Amino acid sequence: MKEEKKKTTQPRWSDLNLSNEKLIKMYRDMLLIRRFEERAAQEYGKGKIGGFCHLYIGQEATGVGAIAPLREDDFIYTAYRDHGQALARGMDTNGCMAELFGKVTGVSKGMGGSMHFYDLSKGFMGGWGIVGGHPPLAAGSAFATKYQGRDSVTICFMGEASTNQGVFHETLNMAQLWKLPVIFICENNGYGMGTAISRAMAGEELFDKAAGYEMARGAVNGMDVIEMYREMTIAIERARKENLPTFLEARTYRFRGHSMSDPGQYRTKEEIEEYKKRDPIETFGKELVAEGILKQSDIELMDEAIKKEVQEAVEFADASPQPPIEVLYDNIYA
């Protein structure tokens, strides 16, 4: 009988206390986001989804790697590119799709749409549409949990364009001054709508913006779910144990346009193809197979199951009712 060759090298995550179950879940979450969004794009094309719709395709590793090490009593704030992070947090697939369809069964009762996913039971505090508008809310959340003597951590995703807003700097200043347990994760995908970061931002290194506040900071490969997880583990420990904030620049890339209505004339096909070679789902899948944690056939079965889950979510959303006309003026503060 042929003896099977044993692997002698350790996987690169051997220092991270990650079970195989957890690694597989991280892979599955990324694949769910990808399939959910591909389907959202199709449904948008059919007119089932209206309004703004910003896809997260290409950026999945950032959201999953940042959220996977959190505890259930931690809080998440994000901008309008929020579907992926909501799914990574375990929000209901049906409810997320129904929100895109503007239905009453949606995670925000059909009143928020793509940009305003929300689920208090998961500590998912939104989906915010004003660039740079939500970081102060995240700092406020971190202030509140500290004040209450809880050791919850708040994380705040934002796009790189928001770091040119004045309020971003006010927030970092206060977070460091007041020693708040908050982690700012700047998803640097290189573009604010159609404007390349080099045309909009002074300075070379984005994460250096936190240096003026002497905040712990650094850059991480946001296309690599394990590297995200590793850096987040350190930042979470710092926040939870020492009440100190972190600014993390996750270098990533969106494969699709800024939103569904983006003709994409500001970047070349070659640039997109180059980044696609680093597709975070494909590279992690290959690694899990090489490490013997998943078989290619497991991946195929998983993909089938996810497509079915997404198909059911579309059917659920389609069959759900619209919010009644009486709620039109609810939740309006004017």
Ligand X SMILES: Cc1ncc(C[n+]2csc(CCOP(=O)(O)OP(=O)(O)O)c2C)c(N)n1
Check residue 192 for interaction with ligand X (CB under 6 A): yes
User: Under a CB-based contact definition with an 8 Å cutoff, are residues 62 and 96 in contact?
Assistant: no
Which secondary structure element, helix H or strand E, spans residue 184, and what is its range? strand 182-188
For residue 220, the cross-strand partners are 250
Q: Tokens 């939104």 belong to which residue?
A: 126
Output the furthest CA–CA distance in the chain (Å, rounded): 77
CB 74 → ligand X: shortest distance, Å? 22
User: Could you give the CA distance from residue 41 to residue 49 in angstroms, rounded to a whole number?
Assistant: 9
- Please identify, using beta-carbon distances, which residue of 62 and 152 lies nearer to ligand X: 62
CB 178 → ligand X: shortest distance, Å? 25
Check residue 103 for interaction with ligand X (CB under 6 A): no
User: Under a CB-based contact definition with an 8 Å cutoff, are residues 59 and 333 in contact?
Assistant: no
User: Could you give the CA distance from residue 188 to residue 168 in angstroms, rounded to a whole number?
Assistant: 15
Inter-helix orientation angle 60-67/20-45, to 10°: 140
Q: Which stretch binds ligand X (CB under 6 A): 14-22, 86-94, 127-135, 137-145?
A: 127-135
For the window 234-273, what string marks contact with ligand X as x by the rule CB under 6 A? ------------------------x---------------
CB 131 → ligand X: shortest distance, Å? 4
User: Could you give the CA distance from residue 228 to residue 203 in angstroms, rounded to a whole number?
Assistant: 24
CB 248 → ligand X: shortest distance, Å? 15
Check residue 127 for interaction with ligand X (CB under 6 A): no
Check residue 211 for interaction with ligand X (CB under 6 A): no
Of 156, 204, 101, nearest in space to 109 by CA: 101
- Please identify, using beta-carbon distances, which residue of 59 and 105 lies nearer to ligand X: 59
Q: Token pair of 235, please?
A: 């930042």
Q: Token pair of 72, please?
A: 């259930």
- Among positions 94, 152, 162, 171, the unique one binding ligand X when judged by CB under 6 A: 162
Check residue 189 for interaction with ligand X (CB under 6 A): yes
- Among positions 160, 224, 249, 279, the unique one binding ligand X when judged by CB under 6 A: 160
User: Could you give the CA distance from residue 164 to residue 61 in angstroms, rounded to a whole number?
Assistant: 24
CB 157 → ligand X: shortest distance, Å? 9
- Among positions 131, 182, 226, 288, the unique one binding ligand X when judged by CB under 6 A: 131
Q: Give me the residue whose beta carbon is nearest to ligand X.
A: 159
Size of the site for ligand X (CB under 6 A): 13
Check residue 134 for interaction with ligand X (CB under 6 A): no
User: Under a CB-based contact definition with an 8 Å cutoff, are residues 302 and 28 in contact?
Assistant: yes
**Which positions touch ligand X (CB under 6 A)?**
81, 129-131, 159-162, 189, 191-193, 258
